[in-house]
């Protein structure tokens, strides 16, 4: 589908300022929920549809509350449109979750097991976070394609979504980086702020990837611990049933019950480790890729400006040669060419200054949101750990008298 625009809309400037003011004051009145995943169709033609519910008092929407059904490719299509319009002018566009061929194939063929249910829930939660981050961006929120996605009962079918997933965006960023590396004129960064931020994001990316790998390993370990705890509970129960000594039999049976409760706590902690902490890290690894992408677009803007200056110099040299050769018949065309490229140089400089200014603002907003997100998640994660340990103590304290009563 043809995009409405390739630049940021300016028709809602007053509204954007109002939204930014509300956002800075934590009065950002829009809530997005993704729920009710539903399998549509059969076999390999099947797909998952999700209910997207919006609640808001913002006047740009027609109602205060509305819901639509969307499939995964619709989310990818939305991101593709937003990325096409905004990334090249310096806006950080939140990436969508990555595609999973294995996970979706299991769902399509109807293999209903814990891994399929986990995949569907993981994707639902990731899509919800994607939309929440997108509508928090004051410029993206104004975009007509985003409002169409949230409000319209019918959307044109999204096509060519292969390149629009999280992995696809990483490939786009790498492609942009390759283009920067092949620049004919190497950029000598004169702005210390940009040099410092690029190094900071490189380091942050590496450390987040290491921490994410560690948390993923921890999740696997706790899943294994949960399975072993369940096996222990079953064995203790069987031993209690075969024990002739009444007090010991009762103690073993109650031990089995306690271990079953502890198994449930382990499962809940795995949920907290994964959905609260691991997913946040994964989101920010993809977000930092988007940040790197806009830095690369700034370099490409600088390259375009420099190329225009080189061409202008060549046009001036060509004019000088025509004057020396006394070729008045071609001088006017040469002067027109010079005027055209002088305009392009001025526009190139203006574009570079504008994208630099936009990126500065975007990075400040990104860092503000990152601080808020990590603070919220760390507190939530620690609270879940404390609650788990407190519950464990209660279980063991309740069981202890029973163990002591064995005689």
| Percent of the chain whose pLDDT exceeds 90 | 61
Query: Which pairs with CB-CB distance under 8 Å and at least 24 residues apart come from 61-66?
Result: 61/147, 61/150, 61/151, 62/151, 63/151, 66/150, 66/151
The mean-pLDDT minimum among 7-11, 91-95, 106-110, 299-303 falls in: 7-11
Q: Within 10 Å of residue 407's Cβ, how many Cβ atoms?
A: 6
Yes or no: say if 98 and 165 are a contact pair by the CB < 8 Å rule.
yes
pTM: 0.80
The mean pLDDT of 361-369, rounded to a whole number, is 96
Q: Which of the four pLDDT bands, split at 50, 70 and 90, describes residue 256? A: very high
The mean pLDDT of 208-215, rounded to a whole number, is 94
Q: What pLDDT, on the 0 to 100 scale, is given for residue 259? A: 94
The mean pLDDT of 78-85, rounded to a whole number, is 95
The mean pLDDT of 213-229, rounded to a whole number, is 92
Token pair of 301 as six digits: 């803007």
Q: What pLDDT, on the 0 to 100 scale, is given for residue 14? A: 41
Yes or no: say if 67 and 151 are a contact pair by the CB < 8 Å rule.
no
Q: Is the pLDDT assigned to residue 101 strictly greater than 90? A: no
Q: What does pLDDT average to over the chain?
A: 85
Q: Which of the four pLDDT bands, split at 50, 70 and 90, describes residue 149? A: very high
Q: Roughly what angle, to the nearest 10 degrees, separates helices 144-151 and 72-86?
A: 170
For residue range 308-337, list pLDDT tens digits in order. 999 999 999 999 998 888 888 888 999 999
């Amino acid at each position: 589908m043809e995009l409405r625009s390739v630049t940021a809309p300016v028709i809602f400037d007053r509204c954007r300022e109002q939204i930014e003011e509300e956002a800075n004051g934590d009065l950002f009145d829009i809530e997005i929920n993704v729920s009710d995943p539903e399998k549509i169709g059969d076999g390999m033609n099947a797909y998952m549809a999700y209910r997207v519910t919006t609640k808001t008092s913002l006047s740009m929407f027609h109602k205060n509350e509305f819901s639509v059904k969307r499939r995964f490719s619709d989310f990818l299509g939305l991101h593709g449109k937003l990325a096409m319009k905004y990334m090249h002018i310096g806006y950080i566009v939140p990436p969508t979750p990555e595609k999973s061929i294995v996970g979706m194939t299991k769902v399509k063929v109807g293999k209903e097991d814990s891994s399929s249910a986990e995949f569907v829930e993981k994707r639902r939660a990731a899509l919800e976070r994607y939309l929440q981050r997108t509508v928090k961006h004051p410029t993206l929120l104004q975009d007509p394609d985003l409002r169409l996605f949230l409000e319209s009962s019918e959307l044109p079918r999204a096509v060519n979504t292969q390149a629009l997933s999280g992995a696809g965006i990483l490939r786009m960023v790498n492609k942009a980086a390759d283009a920067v590396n092949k620049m004919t004129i190497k950029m000598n960064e004169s702005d210390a702020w940009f040099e410092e931020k690029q190094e900071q994001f490189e380091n942050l990316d590496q450390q987040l990837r290491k921490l994410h790998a560690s948390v993923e390993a921890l999740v696997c370990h706790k899943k294994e611990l949960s399975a072993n705890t369940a096996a222990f509970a079953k064995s203790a129960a069987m031993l209690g049933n075969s024990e002739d000594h009444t007090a010991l039999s009762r103690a073993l049976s109650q031990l089995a019950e306690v271990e079953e409760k502890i198994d449930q706590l382990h499962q809940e902690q795995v949920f907290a480790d994964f959905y609260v902490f691991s997913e946040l890290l994964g989101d920010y690894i993809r977000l930092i890729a988007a940040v790197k992408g806009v830095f690369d677009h700034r370099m490409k803007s600088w390259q375009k400006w420099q190329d225009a200056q080189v061409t202008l110099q060549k046009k001036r040299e060509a004019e000088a040669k025509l004057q020396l050769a006394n070729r008045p018949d071609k001088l006017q065309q040469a002067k027109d060419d010079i005027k055209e490229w002088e305009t392009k140089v001025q526009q190139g400089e203006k574009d570079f200054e504008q994208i630099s200014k936009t990126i500065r603002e975007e990075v400040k907003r990104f860092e503000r949101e990152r601080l808020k997100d990590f603070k919220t998640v760390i507190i939530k994660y620690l609270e879940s750990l404390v609650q788990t340990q407190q519950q464990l103590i209660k279980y063991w304290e309740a069981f202890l008298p029973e163990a002591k009563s064995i005689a």
